[in-house]
């Protein structure tokens, strides 16, 4: 061989190896991680794409590893044109990168490399170019890149990252850290990512996308972006989007739900912005906007410190506008809400605990709220709301517990506000007065004596919202100190009887007393409060005996009802308390009424700790508890018998006061609880009877007589609940046991019978409730009734469609009360939810779309944020 010939062979081998190496090196950073972590603030990335210039897409002079290449047909070199061609199943491997394509060509002069996927007869790519590096796989129809400039252009490239995939018509790599996408589609559809489906159920389309990646942070920046569902464009459009792919929380917009509310118009509910603040805080500012002018703004601040505490502050302020300005139906109401929750980790400090649950709203807030979340969660039905802030201190060596509390209670029906600011309770832990003689089990009355005591200091006022924290409120505030002491003991005698003794003492100091007088000019009893320190002491003592009796009625094993068991728990008690209404105590005074009768009143009436009782108490009380069960034959029970509860409880109670001047018998109370249908239906009832006859005049005004034994009804209540579900009437065989054929792709939750009809589980729940209550007083013939029935439940029409709803019917007023319907559709990678209140004061419908993937869950649907959510919204 001539030297020239050998030299030619050497050149061809070098060119061949370098060609494959260049393919690897250039694609090493092509379509790299689309989403990694945020771009540092001090780094500036310049756009190196120059429009109007030809995209230039050559090799390091030294290689760090061996290049392996192969092709199923041939590897051809054209030395004259400085080209190399790899045909059919071309494969190049270098270090951790592997490139597979149907065709690869390299121009050694310009440094341009071209790779193309497999084509069918019509010229359509049926197998894409595949590049794998570092365990990640990238696919594209074809691409050009230049190993000299390290720039690359890919067409119809598919890139997966962080649970999502980007498919772009054209992708250009400018440098190792900057990529551009033309007409890019982003989706998190698992079926599309796993190639179970060729079409994504949704995607976000942007004409221009820029990817900036560094070792620590990556982010995607887009121009206008629009959401498509099943390739149909939606009105969810944003002028731009920034998607940071990071483990850190990032700021962004929160897209609202939308709908219509009859009285205030169309709306956007929950449009806002999310901003993390340091490591322990995050802030949301949300707005609710309506076409008729109503608005609401609600900032929310969440905080958390691991293993210590967590909580949130929130507020709302807005205006509700109904009707047309200038017309009679126009109205404008301002609303506000202040809320704070704080929870301390139980392990943070076992001896000191601080907690808060504050929710203060304007008196007409729920009647005029613009935030529709309160309608769907039924908060608009609230009649009472309480707020509490408390701190509790315990001691390692001292047997006391100190609790400081501030509370705020609102009654929306009366408009009254009860405020305790502050209240402190010092409780001494219960202790036994005497130790057992032998150090073992306590026996007898002496060794079982327990003592409970403590002090309670409180500032209390009942006022209105308008007078809150004004001079009128401070003038009415009461301050008091109370000490309670109770001693109790018990012992068993005659084997079956438990004998108990107790004594209580109550000592009170307060800064206000009251003086009452009848004013004939106004025909009213007027009260005047005196600022002076006064106090009272009261005490009582009592004893009780109780036991348990059993009664069995056996019918035998041959009868359907085999046995009835009746358990009775009777108890009697005696209570003694002095007459603190006597003049010698000084707790009661008198005034002359309109009829001239002398009327007694306590100077502590309406006081912070109440007033002492009047009248001597020598009362004998009784309570009879009953439990009734029976055993019946059962073919469904493995033992052959089944226990049925006739009455889980049936209690009768009352008392007789020997010292009372009249009406010695108290009201008789009866209460019961039972269940039916294998304890599925629960019934609770109560009954109050007056043993004395009441005589009514023509106007229905009653006078209670001493005629004993008439037992007129004073109150009755019955509550009924019956929860039903798809297993109530027996479990059905599982579909997997009944059918062998299961669906694929989207039909994975379906089974198919022999006729190819789909079969699927349809779980459902249905809760039936009913309530009836009747109350009246002895002074009036006419009582009041409350009666309602309610239904709430859910059903899955298909594995992906769920319907929920609830409604209540007011029987007395004969009208439907609060009613809500909800529809939820599971569309693989996102949910569609629709809530509707069809009639009533809060007639409204609401619609929103929720993406399941964490990275977009907050971008397309309002969702409560937490510190466990690592990705940010748009």
pLDDT at 526 over 80: yes
pLDDT at 853 over 90: no
DSSP state of 396: S
pLDDT in the model for residue 547: 95
pLDDT at 347 over 60: yes
State the virtual CA torsion across 720, 725, 731, 734 in degrees, nearest 10: -170
**Helix/strand/coil (H, E, C) string of 264-323?**
CEEEEEEEEEEEEECCCEEEEEEEEEECCCCEEEEEEEEEEECCCEEEEEEEEEEEEEEC
pTM of the model: 0.70
pLDDT at 120 over 90: no
pLDDT in tens, 770-792: 999 999 887 888 889 999 999 99
pLDDT in the model for residue 302: 93
pLDDT in the model for residue 216: 66
Q: What is the mean pLDDT of the chain?
A: 82
Main-chain dihedrals φ then ψ at residue 435, nearest 5 degrees: -90, 155
pLDDT in the model for residue 13: 42
pLDDT in the model for residue 740: 80
- Mean local confidence (pLDDT), 15-38: 36
Reported as a pLDDT band with limits 50, 70 and 90, residue 873 is very low
pLDDT at 621 over 60: yes
pLDDT at 366 over 80: yes
- On whether the CB atoms of residues 553 and 562 are closer than 8 A, the answer is no
pLDDT in the model for residue 638: 65
pLDDT in tens, 411-432: 888 888 999 988 999 999 999 9
Main-chain dihedrals φ then ψ at residue 307, nearest 5 degrees: 65, 10
pLDDT at 339 over 90: yes
pLDDT in the model for residue 438: 74
Where helices occur in 360-424 by DSSP H, the ranges are 365-368, 373-376
pLDDT in the model for residue 130: 84
The SS3 call for residue 611 is coil
| Range with lowest mean pLDDT among 477-481, 625-629, 707-711 | 707-711
Dig out the tokens for 102 from the structure: 């149907």
pLDDT in tens, 686-703: 999 999 988 888 888 888
pLDDT at 58 over 50: no
- Mean local confidence (pLDDT), 511-532: 90
pLDDT in the model for residue 84: 81
**In the Cβ-directed half-sphere of 695, how many Cα atoms lie within 13 Å?**
4
143 exposure class (CB count in 10 Å sphere: 0-12, 13-18, 19+): buried
Closest C-alpha among 309, 393, 381 to residue 790: 381
278 exposure class (CB count in 10 Å sphere: 0-12, 13-18, 19+): exposed
- On whether the CB atoms of residues 185 and 204 are closer than 8 A, the answer is yes
Query: What is the C-alpha to C-alpha distance for residues 222 and 371, in angstroms, rounded to an integer?
Result: 32
Reported as a pLDDT band with limits 50, 70 and 90, residue 601 is very high
pLDDT at 271 over 60: yes
Sign of CA dihedral 227, 228, 229, 233: positive
C-alpha to C-alpha distances, 789 to 6, 154, 596, 719, 775, nearest whole angstrom: 100, 66, 49, 10, 19
């Amino acid at each position: 061989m001539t030297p020239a010939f050998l030299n030619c062979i050497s050149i061809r081998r070098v060119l061949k190896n370098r060609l494959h190496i260049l393919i690897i090196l250039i694609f090493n950073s092509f379509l790299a991680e689309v989403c990694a972590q945020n771009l540092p603030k001090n780094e500036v990335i310049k756009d190196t794409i120059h429009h109007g210039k030809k995209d230039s897409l050559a090799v390091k002079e030294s290689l760090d590893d061996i290049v392996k290449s192969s092709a199923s047909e041939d590897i051809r070199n054209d030395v004259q044109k400085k080209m190399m061609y790899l045909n059919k199943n071309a494969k190049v491997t270098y270090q951790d990168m592997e490139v597979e394509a149907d065709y690869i060509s390299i121009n050694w002069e310009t440094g341009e490399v071209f790779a193309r996927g497999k084509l069918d007869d019509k010229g359509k790519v049926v197998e894409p170019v595949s590049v794998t590096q570092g365990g990640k796989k990238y696919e594209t129809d074809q691409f050009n890149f230049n190993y000299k400039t390290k720039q690359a252009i890919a067409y119809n490239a598919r890139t997966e990252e962080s649970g999502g995939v980007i498919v772009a018509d054209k992708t250009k790599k400018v440098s190792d850290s900057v990529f551009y996408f033309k007409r890019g589609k982003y989706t998190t559809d698992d079926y599309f990512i796993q190639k179970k489906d060729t079409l994504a159920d949704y995607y976000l389309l942007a004409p221009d996308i820029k990817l900036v990646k560094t070792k620590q942070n990556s982010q995607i920046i887009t121009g206008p972006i629009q959401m498509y569902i099943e390739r149909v464009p939606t009105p969810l459009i944003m002028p731009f989007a920034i998607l940071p792919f990071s483990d850190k929380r990032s700021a962004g917009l929160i897209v609202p739900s939308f709908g219509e509310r009859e009285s205030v118009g169309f709306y956007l509910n929950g449009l806002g912005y999310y901003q993390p603040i340091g490591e322990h805080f995050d802030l949301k500012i949300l707005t609710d906007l309506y076409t008729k002018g109503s608005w609401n703004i609600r900032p929310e601040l969440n905080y958390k410190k691991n293993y210590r505490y967590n909580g949130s502050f929130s507020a709302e302020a807005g205006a509700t506008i109904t009707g047309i300005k200038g017309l009679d139906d126009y109205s404008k109401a301002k609303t506000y809400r202040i809320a704070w929750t704080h929870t301390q980790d139980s392990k943070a400090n076992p001896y000191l605990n601080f907690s808060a649950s504050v929710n203060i709203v304007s008196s007409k807030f729920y009647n005029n709220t613009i935030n529709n979340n309160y309608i769907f969660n039924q908060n608009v039905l609230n009649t009472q709301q309480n707020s509490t802030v408390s701190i509790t201190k315990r001691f390692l060596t001292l047997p006391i517990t100190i609790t400081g509390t501030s509370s705020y209670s609102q009654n929306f029906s009366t408009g009254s506000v009860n405020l305790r600011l502050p209240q402190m309770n010092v409780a001494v832990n219960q202790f036994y007065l005497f130790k057992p003689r032998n150090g073992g089990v306590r026996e007898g009355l002496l060794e079982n004596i327990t003592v409970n005591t403590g002090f309670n200091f409180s500032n209390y006022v009942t006022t209105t919202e308008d007078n809150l924290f004004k001079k009128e409120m401070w003038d009415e505030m009461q301050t008091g100190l109370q000490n309670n002491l109770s001693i109790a003991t018990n012992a068993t005698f005659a084997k079956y009887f438990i004998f108990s003794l107790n004594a209580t003492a109550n000592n009170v100091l307060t800064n206000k007393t009251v003086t009452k007088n009848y004013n004939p000019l106004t025909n009213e009893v007027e009260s005047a409060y005196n600022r002076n320190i006064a106090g009272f002491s009261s005490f009582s003592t009592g004893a009780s005996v109780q036991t348990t009796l059993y009664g069995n009625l056996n019918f035998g094993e041959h009868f359907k009802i085999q046995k009835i068991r009746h358990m009775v728990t009777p108890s009697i008690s005696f209570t003694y308390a002095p007459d603190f209404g006597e003049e010698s105590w000084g707790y009661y005074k008198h005034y002359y009424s309109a009829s001239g009768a002398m009327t007694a009143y306590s100077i502590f009436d309406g006081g912070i700790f109440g007033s002492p009782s009047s009248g001597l108490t020598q009362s004998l009380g009784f309570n009879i508890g009953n439990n009734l069960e029976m055993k019946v034959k059962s073919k469904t029970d493995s033992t052959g018998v089944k226990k049925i509860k006739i009455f889980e409880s049936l209690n009768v109670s009352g008392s007789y006061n020997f010292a009372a001047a009249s009406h010695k018998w108290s009201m008789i109370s009866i209460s019961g609880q039972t269940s039916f249908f294998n304890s599925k239906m629960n019934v609770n009832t109560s009954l109050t009877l007056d043993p004395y006859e009441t005589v009514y005049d023509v106007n229905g005004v009653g006078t209670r007589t001493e005629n004993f034994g008439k037992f007129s009804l004073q109150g009755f209540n019955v509550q009924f609940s019956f929860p039903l579900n798809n297993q109530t009437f027996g479990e059905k065989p599982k579909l997997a046991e009944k059918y062998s054929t299961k669906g694929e792709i989207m039909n994975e939750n379906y089974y198919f019978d022999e006729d190819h009809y789909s079969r699927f589980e349809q779980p459902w729940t249905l809760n039936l409730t009913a309530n009836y209550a009747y109350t009246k007083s002895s002074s009036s013939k006419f009582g009041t009734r409350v009666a309602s029935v309610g239904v709430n439940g859910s059903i899955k029409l298909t594995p992906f469609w769920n319907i929920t709803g609830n409604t209540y019917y007011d029987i007395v007023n004969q009208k439907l009360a609060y009613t809500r319907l909800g529809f939820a559709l599971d569309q693989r990678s996102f949910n569609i939810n629709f809530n509707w209140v069809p009639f009533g004061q809060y007639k409204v419908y609401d619609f929103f779309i929720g993406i399941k993937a964490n990275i977009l869950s907050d971008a397309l649907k309002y969702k409560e944020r937490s510190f466990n959510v690592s990705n940010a919204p748009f």
